[in-house]
Structure 1
Amino acid sequence: MGGEVKLDRWGYQVNTSSDDCISAINSYYQQVLSYGRERSVILEASAHDPNCVLANILTAQFLCSSNPSRAPPHLEAAKAKLQQATAYEKAVFDAVSCLISPDRDDDVAYELLSKFLKDFPRDLVSLKKAQVLCFYMGQPDLSLDIVQQVLPKNEEEDYIYGMLAFPLLELGRMEDAAKAAKKGFEINKEDCWAQHGLCHVLQYECCFKEAVDFMEEHSKSWSSLSSFMYTHNWWHVALCYLEGNAPMRKVLEVYDHCIWKELERSDAVLAEVYLNALGLLLRVYVRGEIDIFGDRLKILAARLTDQAVWYLEWHFAVLVIWALGSTGAFDNGEELLKGLKSRISKMGRKKKQKMQRGMLLAEALYEYGKGNYNEALELLGPDFDANNCKTIGASDEQLDVFNEVWYVMMLNTGQATKAIEVLEERIKKREGASFMWRLLERGYSMLGRPEATTVAEKAKYLEAAYFK
């Protein structure tokens, strides 16, 4: 290693003589941790010092998702100067190279990041990358392990407790998740990931008005968030209005003024907005309320014929294929299904096995959109549980709509006995959701069971309980 060495935000050594380069790297760290919309600031780092290994490898990773054709020169530039790099930079290079490899083995990448964080535990951006990897592996247990591994070295750090809260949420440890999110919020009131964690807990506990009040109060701090995080937080707000049986115009207002309106911003990332818009519209559709949304689903579906956005991530593809099926865009729907199958066929054995459920879910949602409920149910099978589909890259809250689709299709095809059995178990875990009680009432009514009256009263009570 030769040349001048400077310290980054974590106190780790970086081989560069440029203060501007280090400043841009630190700004990038802040953008990643805060879900900011200015992550492209990393491009300035490699411009200030084209020989800096850390600047180039982080630039390459950023470009892999935003502009892939521009990534290779930065990867090569980092590789060319590796001998002059610090131990920290070399470790980041190895970890990122593995993460952006087209034939990445997720388990190998996780082990590499776990070892990296043992050596460099203060690097919270690498922790965030490890957690994102775990999210797409569908393994919140590993995500929790890795954040707990570095926690002793970061106990008073900004952002760490939001990162602790999320895997706890996904593991159903709501009390622990609430404590972690509250601690993160106390350290930084504008930590959107801690806010998001608290909203998840309130939503799960059916404290819908409290969740809405909390999120709307802090929404002033969201304008600098990425398109995904901005519209995702508003998706949560809309969902709370929907589940709490607020007037449907409240849900519509959030869709129009807080989700769809994001598309007017010049730096909006379209697919990130579409993801949250689709997630909300499917919830509305399942509840039989889509007509209130006029032609909004058709307008969105018309934008989804652009194949460039189809394969960005599996969760998005599943929602897209439902929208195409439900709006009659069958040629595009078939093309997307074919494309997903082609991608699965090229995966390694281990990855292919993991993604099989995601493929079946996509096929089932396409049939559901077309109104072919029997075919969709056959694809999902008699013991479907959307939580087993985490590898599509979705949280429990995002996946739950697919359970709702399953319940409704069972009732639509006369499978009331099975639907009742599943719904009764579901209600035991979360008693305050009126929609579940309405579905249960429907099941009892189909079989002429007297419990339908009591269940209807319970549903009516809950529908009036949250937003008076």
Structure 2
Amino acid sequence: MKNLIHSPCATGATETAIKHYDAALRAFNIYRGDPVALCDQAIDSAPEFAMAYILKAYLFGLATEPEAASEAKTILETAKRFAKTEQEISHLAALEALLGNNWTEAAVRLDRHNNEFPYDILGLQAGHLMDFYRANARNLRDRLARVLPKWSEDQPGYSVVLGMYAFGLEEAGDYVQAEAVGKEAIERDPLDCWAHHAVAHVLEMQGRAEEGIKWMSSREPHWSGDDNFFKVHNWWHNALYHLDVGKSEKVIQLYDARVRGEESQVALDLVDASALLWRLHMEGHDVGDRWTEVANSWDAHADGRLYPFNDWHAAMAYLGAGRESEVDRILDQYRTAGESEGETARWAQVTGMPLIQGFRSFWAGQYDQAVDILHPARFIANSFGGSHAQRDVIDWTLTEAAVRSGKIGAAEALAAERLAVNPHSPINNSFLKRAKPSHKGHVAAE
């Protein structure tokens, strides 16, 4: 097998360090265990092992957290001292762009890297996550499609590549193939929670909520362990299924026990918490002081500079907690950002700002204004910001605002749009029913 990053010829490597590195890479591939600690063991065994520093820099740089990004820059500078091979230097170029807040440049550099080193699973996974964070559905699929013909079924990591491909197929709208590929990946490696998560997305996007609940339950031992980085996100998916079938009390139970049971400070988990509370709020549930805990946790991450998708979710929590001054702080940072702050500054100004303003209008009961702001702001796919399932909260909020504002034409049109994709959803059917002028309660309980 060629182009392996854990090849014995990797700069500065020793046999012992390679074993630790391979374990770290495996942990990263399936989002289980502690890849950072394993990287440190590799570095302790071989202090000039360039790829161990490179993997560690990706782990911190892809976290979308300010403190982690700062640490990644320090690690990158160390990696530069030892990297010598073409493959290692190519990784440094991608990391340089990523840590300069230029996600698209970094992703394109890894496109080229993957073309030259198609078996480099770190390059594939790092690029896949960059595609995810910038919501590039096409490249989520095609990055893997470009290399899969070179892989063989008996090759180590093949199931991981299939799992990534399954998620890319789902985000690109090929649900039938995505489900099949995702299930094949899981058959090959039951611990691959990314492949499990890809199938969960298919069921969510097709409105197969009851199947989704059974899917999560049947595989719970494989994705809910304490060492599983994705467990909270998968609990979030489980909660969405229950919300879609009208079991709101179960959703609140899942929120308290699973989504925020450990009060995780990881940005990805806080995104899930904010988004779930916002959905519950729109459904008319008083979530009490849950907003405060999440808002306080966002303080370490929502700097208005690094990643606007996180800032927007932080703003939801700040609104819920009555901390509107923090929303102002984020918006002020967006207004004053310059071109030198990288691609994410443009994301913030073009998309992040109207999303936050639209959600603020909704929270304030200014539903007409929320509709006017959110309708053009919702088209962020292939710009930045997670998955279709995560971004659905925008369209949900827009449709709810249209219903509450009494904009009958807009409300009916938006409800029809949602029903065309998910005709069995009780929530979507409720939108259409409440939009009718004859329906007395078409401005939902607030």
Partner of 1:97: 96
Which residue number in structure 2 is paired with residue 323 of structure 1?
317
- Residue correspondence of structure 1 range 261-410 to structure 2 within 5 A: 261-263=261-263, 268-288=264-284, 290-291=285-286, 293-304=287-298, 306-311=299-304, 313-343=307-337, 346-347=340-341, 352=346, 356-381=350-375, 384=376, 386-389=378-381, 391-410=383-402
Distance 1:107 1:270 in 2: 23
Is 1:418 paired with 2:410? yes
Q: Does 1:207 align with 2:208?
A: yes
- For the structure 1 residues 118 and 12, does the alpha-carbon distance in structure 2 shift closer, same or farther, using more than 3 Å as the test? farther
Deviation readout 1:223-275 (Å, 9 max, x if unpaired): 15554x211100000000010123x2211221111111132xxxx54433322
Alignment of 1:89-168 (within 5 A): 89-100=88-99, 102=100, 104=102, 106-156=103-153, 157-168=158-169
Tell me, in whole angstroms, the C-alpha distance in 1 between the residues paired with 2:203 and 2:361.
33
Aligned length: 430
- Alpha-carbon distance, 1:134 to partner: 1.7
**TM-score, structure 1 length as denominator?**
0.83
Give the SS at the match of 2:219.
Answer: helix
CA distance in 2, matches of 1:367, 1:30: 45
Gaps of 5+ in 1: 1-5, 456-468
State the shift of 1:50 in Å. Answer: 1.6
Q: Looking at CA atoms only, which structure, 1 or 2, has the larger radius of gyration? A: 1
Question: Cα distance 1:79–1:302, how it changes in 2: closer, same or farther (>3 A)?
Answer: closer
Task: Report if aligned partners of 2:170, 2:178 keep a CA contact under 8 Å in 1.
Answer: yes
Q: Given residue 261 of structure 1, which amino acid in structure 2 is its aligned partner? A: G
Structure-1 separation of matches of 2:338 and 2:373? 17
Per the alignment, residue 27 of structure 1 pairs with 23
- Quote the Cα distance in structure 2 between the aligned partners of 1:218 and 1:146: 28
Q: Which residue of structure 1 lines up, in the alignment, with residue 190 of structure 2?
A: 189
Deviation, 1:161, is 1.4
2:309–2:384: 8 Å Cα contact kept in structure 1?
Answer: yes
Deviates more, 1:372-381 or 1:42-51: 372-381
Task: Deviation per CA, 1:437-459: give whole Å up to 9, x if none.
Answer: 11111111x2x38xx9xx9xxxx
Q: 1:67 to 1:395 in 2, by over 3 A?
A: closer
Report the Cα offset of residue 141 of structure 1. 0.9
Paired position in structure 2 for 1:52: 49
CA shift in 2, pair 1:316/1:103, >3 Å: closer
Matches within 5 A, 1:441-452: 441-444=433-436, 446=437, 448=438
Distance 1:131 1:8, change over 3 A: closer
C-alpha change, 1:354 and 1:173, in structure 2 (3 Å) is farther
Moved more, 331-340 or 161-170: 331-340
SS across alignment from 2:261: helix
Change (3 A) 1:380 1:74: closer
Residues 284-316 of structure 1: per-residue CA shift (max 9 Å, x gap): 11111x22x343234433444x25444453222
Partner Cα separation in structure 2 for residue 217 and residue 391 of structure 1: 35
Q: Secondary structure at the match of 1:428?
A: helix
Aligned-residue identity in percent: 24
Offset at 1:71?
4.2
- Give the Cα separation in 2 of the matches to 1:394 and 1:349: 16
Q: Indicate yes or no: 2:10 matched with 1:14.
A: yes
Give TM-score scaled by structure 2 length: 0.87
CA 142–299 in structure 1, closer or farther in 2 if over 3 Å, else same: closer
Checking the alignment, whether the CA contact within 8 Å between 1:326 and 1:370 is kept in structure 2 is: no
* Structure 2 segments unaligned to the other structure (5+ residues): none
| Offset, 1:103 | 5.3
Letter in 2 for 1:15: T
Q: Which residue of 1 aligns with 2:172?
A: 171
Distance across 1 between alignment mates of 2:101 and 2:422 = 40
Q: Residue 362 of structure 1: CA displacement? A: 1.5
Contact 1:165 1:197 in 2 (8 A): yes
Q: 1:278 to 1:108 in 2, by over 3 A?
A: closer
1:44-98 deviation line (CA, Å, top 9, x unaligned): 222221222222333334344564454455433332334xx33433333333333
When residues 354 and 116 of structure 1 are mapped into structure 2, their CA distance, relative to the original with a 3 A threshold, is: same
Q: Given that residues 325 and 370 in structure 1 are in contact (C-alpha distance below 8 angstroms), is that contact kept between their aligned partners in structure 2?
A: no
8 Å CA contact retained: 1:324, 1:369: no
Change (3 A) 1:296 1:110: closer
In 1, Cα distance between equivalents of 2:383 and 2:269: 21
In 1, are the aligned partners of 2:347 and 2:383 still within 8 Å (CA)?
A: no
Checking the alignment, whether the CA contact within 8 Å between 2:136 and 2:381 is kept in structure 1 is: no
Offset at residue 7 of structure 1 (A): 9.4
Structure of greater relative contact order (alpha carbons < 8 Å, 6+ residues apart): 2
The amino acid across from 1:13 in the alignment is C
Q: Which amino acid aligns with 2:271?
A: L
- Superposed CA deviations along residues 373-407 of structure 1, whole A, max 9, x for unmatched, are 233223224xx473535534221111111111111
CA contact (8 A) 2:169 2:175 kept: yes
Match of 1:254, SS?
Answer: helix
CA distance in 1, matches of 2:13, 2:174: 46
| Structure 1 residues 298 and 89: CA distance shift in structure 2, 3 A | closer
> Alignment partner of 2:271: what SS?
helix
**In 2, Cα distance between equivalents of 1:52 and 1:349:** 31
Whole-angstrom CA distance in 2 between matches of 1:173 and 1:274: 29
Matched, 1:77 2:78: yes
Q: CA deviation at 1:163?
A: 0.5
Does the CA-based 8 Å contact 1:275-1:319 persist in structure 2?
A: yes
The CA distance in 1 between the partners of 2:106 and 2:402, in whole Å, is: 40
1-side partners of 2:293 and 2:347: how far apart? Answer: 35
